[in-house]
């Protein structure tokens, strides 16, 4: 049975956590290991906790540098399930999990755990057909998406630097939801080591070896303009998310020379600098040419085809997570306050982007990321209160 057509079992969860425990037991069996009653203090820096409450949900711009590990879990609500009470319960569970006071963490420290909740177009339409997020994501070329891997009612984006925290938090949230939700698909991913691209700005390398996520709304002013929804009041403080899981043809891409790979992206592989020059954070000079009249940034380079100014849209906050199961690839997530920012960009890329032939999209969905919440204003209460 295809992966997207079955639900993760309790055994699958126990296999994961049991494997982690077994690994810990194996590494603790050397003759130099400490005695069980003499624990060794950890020398690793403990990630700073990220508050769950606030104007915006955590996990989008907080923490500033995204955590290493992510699980995107997409589910449907039962036909008779009221979204409001379910979301309020999930919000309270998120608060206790991130605070470290939930026994379902099994003694793990939550560290920088964040859980970001979104609702799909079907649920948004029940609150208002004209609201942002009510429109389904259109279909694009180079897609091979099974019906269960397209769309969904509920998104749980769970992130943490400490890998075991992620599936444990997911199990707690699914237990909280119970039989009110039915899982559609899930995808785990990891981010590479961050590379400094400008003062106060870092980005990781993707599975193709290039620095990913350099361009985006990084300042507060840019985020207010292009990222956060200003209204209507039901969604103010939220944003729109697009998820796309893609398989990558690593073998064919690796067969290219470094110069050919750089022409696909329009950037230097080692540094991230645009082929037109400057620094990694410099905007590519799309009109710059060689003395013989060739564009320094090729006409089909990814940075040209996806350039916000050329497309005529705002910036999207982009995150890419490397995956190796069900196939080597990446999970692409973008956040923006207008779905057209994504759809117009991908439509332009569809016509001639040198990167797309190396990709096949196998899952896709869009969600309204709900506004922030606190104890007085439960998660989802502005939309489903």
Q: Please choose, from the candidates 50, 382, 55, 53, the residue with its C-alpha nearest in 3D space to the C-alpha of residue 224.
A: 55
The pLDDT of residue 132: 98
CA distance linking residue 236 with residue 217, whole number of Å: 18
CA distance linking residue 232 with residue 47, whole number of Å: 35
Task: Give residue-wise pLDDT tens across range 56-89.
Answer: 999 999 999 999 999 999 999 999 999 999 999 9
Q: In Å, what is the CA distance from 258 to each residue of 236, 250, 298?
A: 45, 14, 15
CA distance linking residue 331 with residue 350, whole number of Å: 18
What phi and psi, each to the nearest 5 degrees, are found at residue 254?
-65, -25
Q: In Å, what is the CA distance from 383 to each residue of 13, 119, 204, 234?
A: 33, 10, 35, 5
Above pLDDT 70, what percent of the chain?
A: 89
**Mean pLDDT, residues 171-176:** 98
The DSSP-derived string for 314-335 is: ---EEEEEEE-SSSSEEEEEEE
The pLDDT of residue 17: 43
**Mean pLDDT, residues 265-292:** 97
Across the chain, the runs of DSSP E, i.e. the strands, are 69-77, 114-119, 154-160, 181-190, 194-198, 201-204, 239-248, 317-323, 329-336, 359-369
The predicted model scores a pTM of 0.88
Task: Give residue-wise pLDDT tens across range 332-342.
Answer: 999 999 999 99
Task: Give residue-wise pLDDT tens across range 144-159.
Answer: 999 999 999 999 999 9
**Mean pLDDT, residues 362-371:** 98
The pLDDT of residue 3: 44
Nearest-Å Rg of the Cα atoms of the chain is 22
In sequence order, the 6+-apart residues with CB closer than 8 A to the CB of 147 are none
Q: Please choose, from the candidates 342, 317, 377, the residue with its C-alpha nearest in 3D space to the C-alpha of residue 157.
A: 317
Q: Please choose, from the candidates 246, 74, 47, 64, the residue with its C-alpha nearest in 3D space to the C-alpha of residue 158.
A: 74
The pLDDT of residue 21: 36
**Residue 45 binned pLDDT confidence (cut-offs 50, 70, 90):** confident
Of 34 and 244, the one with more pLDDT: 244
The pLDDT of residue 200: 87
Alpha carbon dihedral 17, 92, 243, 18, in 10-degree steps, equals: 0
The pLDDT of residue 181: 98
The yes-or-no verdict on residue 4 having pLDDT over 70 is no
Cis status of the peptide bond prior to 295, with omega within 30 of 0:
no
> Where does residue 64 rank: exposed (0-12), middle (13-18), buried (19+ CB within 10 A)?
exposed
Q: In Å, what is the CA distance from 173 to each residue of 72, 75, 141, 156?
A: 13, 12, 34, 9
**Residue 5 binned pLDDT confidence (cut-offs 50, 70, 90):** very low
The yes-or-no verdict on residue 2 having pLDDT over 60 is no
**Mean pLDDT, residues 206-224:** 95
- The encoded tokens of residue 275 equal 């082929």
The yes-or-no verdict on residue 32 having pLDDT over 90 is no
**Residue 35 binned pLDDT confidence (cut-offs 50, 70, 90):** very low
Under DSSP, the state recorded for 151 is -
**Mean pLDDT, residues 232-248:** 98
Return the SS3 of 18.
helix
**Mean pLDDT, residues 7-30:** 41
**Mean pLDDT, residues 208-214:** 95
**Mean pLDDT, residues 43-59:** 89
The pLDDT of residue 44: 60
User: 188 - beta bridge partners?
Assistant: 71
Whether residue 307 contacts residue 284, with contact meaning beta carbons closer than 8 Å, is answered with yes
**Mean pLDDT, residues 191-215:** 93
């Amino acid at each position: 049975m295809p992966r997207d057509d079955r639900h993760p079992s309790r055994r699958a969860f126990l296999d994961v956590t049991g494997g982690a425990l077994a690994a810990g037991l194996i590494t603790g069996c050397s003759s130099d290991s400490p005695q069980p009653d003499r624990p060794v203090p950890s020398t690793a820096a403990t990630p700073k906790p990220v508050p769950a409450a606030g104007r915006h949900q955590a996990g989008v711009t907080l923490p500033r540098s995204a955590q290493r590990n992510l699980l995107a879990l997409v589910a449907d609500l039962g036909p008779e399930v009221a979204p409001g009470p379910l979301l309020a319960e999930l919000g309270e569970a998120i608060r206790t999990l991130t605070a470290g006071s939930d026994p379902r963490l099994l003694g793990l420290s939550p560290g920088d755990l964040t859980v970001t909740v979104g609702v799909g177009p079907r649920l948004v339409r029940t609150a208002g057909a004209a609201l942002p997020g009510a429109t389904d994501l259109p279909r694009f070329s180079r897609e091979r998406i099974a019906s269960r891997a397209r769309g969904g009612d509920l998104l749980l984006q769970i992130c943490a630097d400490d890998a075991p925290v992620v599936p444990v938090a997911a199990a707690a949230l699914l237990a909280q939801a119970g039989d009110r939700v039915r899982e559609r698909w899930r995808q785990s991913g990891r981010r590479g080591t961050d590379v400094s691209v400008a003062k106060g700005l870092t980005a990781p390398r993707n599975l193709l070896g290039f620095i990913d996520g350099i361009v985006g709304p990084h300042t507060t002013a840019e985020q207010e303009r292009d990222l956060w929804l200003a209204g209507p009041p039901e969604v103010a403080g939220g944003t729109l998310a697009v998820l796309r899981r893609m398989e990558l043809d690593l073998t064919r891409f690796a067969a290219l020379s470094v110069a050919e790979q750089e022409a696909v992206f329009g950037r230097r592989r080692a540094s991230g600098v645009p082929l037109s020059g400057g620094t990694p954070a410099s905007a590519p000079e799309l009109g710059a040419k060689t003395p013989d009249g060739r564009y320094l940034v090729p006409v089909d380079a990814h940075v040209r085809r996806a350039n916000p100014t050329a497309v005529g849209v705002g910036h999207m906050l982009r995150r890419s997570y490397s995956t190796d199961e069900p196939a080597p690839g990446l999970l692409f997530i973008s956040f923006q306050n207008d779905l057209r920012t994504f759809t117009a960009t991908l439509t332009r890329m569809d016509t001639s982007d040198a990167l797309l032939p190396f990709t096949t999209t196998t899952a896709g969905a869009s969600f309204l990321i709900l506004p922030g919440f606190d104890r007085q204003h439960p998660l989802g209460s502005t939309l489903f209160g």
